[in-house]
Amino acid sequence: MISSGIGDTEPILNLKALFYEVELNENLKERVDNIQKNSISENLQLLKEIQAILRNCTHLNDNQKLLYCQSQRYFMKMYLREVNRQE
């Protein structure tokens, strides 16, 4: 015997997802924006900390300073990427 499936809840759930899709997309966009804002501020904070280390730590040898400068360059790129992405 073939059933029409009218009593099944699955089609109702599928329709429900269509109506709530806009609300969910807006919520996801807000979350992504918050993540980007947080990553921008975190990268900027890391840049400031690395700069303070380079400026204040006289006990670092040249190789260690080079490693800090490379990490500073990396976080500067990340910071600028995120800033440019927002515009």
Using an 8 Å Cβ cutoff, are 86 and 32 in contact? no
What confidence tens digit (pLDDT) does each residue in 25-35 have? 676 667 666 66
What pTM does this model have? Answer: 0.56
The upper half-sphere exposure of residue 50, i.e. CA atoms within 13 Å in the direction of its Cβ, equals 19
pLDDT range class, residue 1, cuts 50, 70, 90: very low
pLDDT range class, residue 19, cuts 50, 70, 90: low
Percent of the chain with pLDDT over 70: 57
What confidence tens digit (pLDDT) does each residue in 36-46 have? 667 888 888 88
Cα angle for residues 83, 70, 50 (degrees, 5° grid) = 70
